[in-house]
Amino acid sequence: MSVLMRRENTLIIEPGSDISKIQIINFILLPNSKKHFEGPPLYQNRLLRIISLFIKNKTYNKSKKEEFFLTASCAEPEGIVAVCKCLDAIKNEITPEFTFEFAKQYGFLQIMKTDDFDMQYFQDTLPWFMNSINQLNQQEEKKDLTQNLIEAFKKELDLTEAATQAKQLCSDQKSWIELLCKASLQSLDVSKFGIQQSQQQFSQLIPMLKQEINSVHLQGFLMDLLMKECYEHPSLCEMFKPCLMILYNAQIIDGNVIIAWYERAQGNGKATFGKQIFRFVEWLKAE
């Protein structure tokens, strides 16, 4: 028995069926997508919602054997109309983020690069999808520039160019401080070079941090970043106190901020790193 068939213009689906590209699109959209979308708006919307619900309920293409169903529409005359309407319907039924990731996992971004794809119509019709593409491109560019900065820290090169390029992609001061801190710490290979050499490498960060850390709030933010990175990367566990001492001696983090952080901070790593700096905190309190 077919899981999908016509019965007086009604869609009949057997529960638990694996609904794929051929079944959905051939039934609803193809051939000549534009012609099918010239029907009454209410009828169009119902069909599009059916497609969206297939996807929302994870009924679409369970076996992953079919190509992405919108690929077939792209190959049809005026198929871009159906593609845009489908993606917009999925977005309205679920979320823009889900729709973008769903399309991306089936290689739709590669389809968009083909010569036959009507990019102008797509851009004009689905600006939210294009915004997601722009955000993805920015994330990938930021990832590449962050890696360049990590390599510069590792090789103790001039950080100016790599830092300038990476900073341009940061939306605010905190995100830039976070990127700097992560790049510096992730460049350390403590098991290979030891704590002393890793301290020297971390010290490359000091001139840039002096330009950025200009408030008690940012000092506390930097301590939280240090704790988070050292906790998430076990190889850095022993570097929390040495790095903190470098920041303290460089007058980037004040002793009172360290005491306040020690007494109030919460989260993963607080117990471990609190033990590392216990005696130092006691000394600060006695000063």
- At 20-70, the pLDDT tens digits run 444 444 444 443 444 444 444 565 677 778 778 877 877 666 555 556 677
Q: How far is CA 262 from CA 111, 209, 221, 226, in A?
A: 53, 21, 13, 13
> Is 4 or 72 the better-scoring residue by pLDDT?
72
CA distances to 34, 103, 117, 122, 142 from 83, rounded to whole Å, are 10, 11, 11, 9, 30
pLDDT at 146: 85
Please tell me the distance from the alpha carbon of residue 212 to that of residue 174, in angstroms, as a whole number: 9
**In this predicted structure, what is the pLDDT of residue 240?**
94
What's the chain's average pLDDT? 81
**Mutual angle of helices 173-186 and 216-232, in 10-degree steps:** 40
What pLDDT does residue 37 have?
44
Q: Does position 82 have pLDDT exceeding 60, yes or no?
A: yes
Determine the residue type at 38.
Answer: E
The burial of 261, by beta-carbon neighbours within 10 Å (0-12 exposed, 13-18 middle, 19 or more buried), is given as buried
Read off the pLDDT band of 227 (50, 70, 90).
Answer: very high
Single-letter amino acid code for the residue at 42: L
What confidence tier does 282 reach under pLDDT thresholds 50, 70, 90? very high
Calculate Rg over the CA atoms of the chain.
27
In degrees, to the nearest 5, what angle opens at C-alpha 204 toward C-alphas 273 and 193? 65
Distance from C-alpha of 59 to C-alpha of 20, rounded to nearest angstrom: 8
**Cβ proximity of 9 and 46 under 8 Å:** no
Q: What pLDDT score does 43 carry?
A: 59
Question: Which DSSP state fits 67?
Answer: P
Q: Which long-range contacts (CB under 8 A, 24 or more apart) does 56-64 make?
A: 56/90, 56/93, 56/94, 59/17, 59/18, 59/19, 60/19, 60/20, 60/24, 61/18, 61/19, 61/20, 61/21, 62/18, 63/18, 63/20
What confidence tier does 226 reach under pLDDT thresholds 50, 70, 90? very high
Residue 148 has pLDDT above 70, yes or no: yes
CA dist list (Å): 34 to 28, 48, 68, 108, 164 = 11, 14, 19, 20, 49
- Amino acid 42: pLDDT: 60
Distances (CA, A) of 189 to 61, 70, 227: 44, 46, 17
Range 203-210 average pLDDT: 91
Instruction: Give the confidence band of 268 by pLDDT, cuts at 50, 70, 90.
Output: confident
The CB-based long-range contact list for 134-142 (8 Å cut-off, 24+ gap) reads 136/104, 138/169, 141/169, 142/166, 142/169, 142/179
pLDDT at 26: 44
Please tell me which residue, 57 or 275, carries the higher pLDDT value.
275
Tell whether omega for the bond before 41 is within 30 degrees of 0, i.e. cis.
no
- Over residues 88-107, the pLDDT tens digits come to 999 999 999 999 998 898 88
Angle CA 84–87–92, to nearest 5? 120
Contacts of residue 134, defined as CB under 8 A and 6 or more positions apart, other chains included, come to: none
Cα separation of 167 and 142, whole Å? 9
Q: Is the pLDDT of residue 232 over 60?
A: yes
